[in-house]
Amino acid sequence: MKKILLTSALVASVALSAQIDLSSTRFGITGGGTYSRITNAHNPSGALFSGYGGVLALIPIDSRDQFYLQPGVEYLGAGETGKNKDFKGASGYDAIYANNYISVPLYFKGFFSEAESEFFALAGPKFNFLVSQKVSDVPASRPYYGIEELPQYPGVNGKASSFNMALGFGLGFSYLRKLEITARYDLGLSNTYKGLMNEPGTDPSIAKKKTEQVVSAGVSYIFN
């Protein structure tokens, strides 16, 4: 929670102290692919490949066209699977733990120079709201990985939290401040599966927070 408050306060202070020019706001579309994992949640555990797509706004916060606020709204696919190579052919290898979100990033974006075609970096909080969840082919020994709580496992379930937060970081290149390629990493801060912290067993990872980590690469086009 301290990290969440610190990040939000930092972004707010930047926004308040900057020379925000809403009249010069530009809008764009964005989309790409995602690679995600969840720490301490499932066994076996492997990556899930999905995607994202949405819209963004580019709001100048200086007079040199070098620094911006970039809020957006995206449909984001994340989660993980059971595809750990050491468990190939075992029960749970084909499991899917897919979480789909409406994601609201709020990035601080800075270009490395004032050139029209230039590299940039971005960072800021992301607020993710769960809109759907798919769980299938869970391990036979761990039926409580499903969304519904089972009578024989009270207090244990694999239902994802309706809200989570991450810190997003990215690097990219902009061609003429219109066509952009961006690579991003989202560091999960929230507990995605609180119901799995009561899982039976003695594995020390059971009591640890289950955080969602997402790597993405995509393309954006910003209109004049």
Residues 6 or more apart whose CB falls under 8 angstroms from that of 71 comprise 56, 57, 59, 104, 105, 106, 107
* pLDDT for the residue 19: 61
Q: For 185-219, how does the pLDDT look when each residue is reduced to its tens digit (9 = 90+)? A: 999 999 999 999 999 999 999 999 999 999 999 99
Q: Tokens 């696919």 appear where?
A: 77
Judge whether 212 and 187 are in contact, CB under 8 Å.
Answer: no
Give the global pTM.
0.89
CATH topology of domain 25-222: Porin (2.40.160)
DSSP state of 159: P
Q: Is 41 left (phi over 0), alpha (psi -120 to 50) or beta?
A: alpha
Pairing of the two strands 96-111 and 67-81: antiparallel
Spatial separation of the C-alpha atoms in residues 4 and 121, rounded to whole Å: 21
Tens-digit pLDDT profile for residues 81-121: 999 999 999 999 999 999 999 999 999 999 999 999 999 99
Distance between CA atoms of 11 and 67, rounded to whole angstroms? 13
Domain boundaries, given as residue ranges, for the chain:
25-222
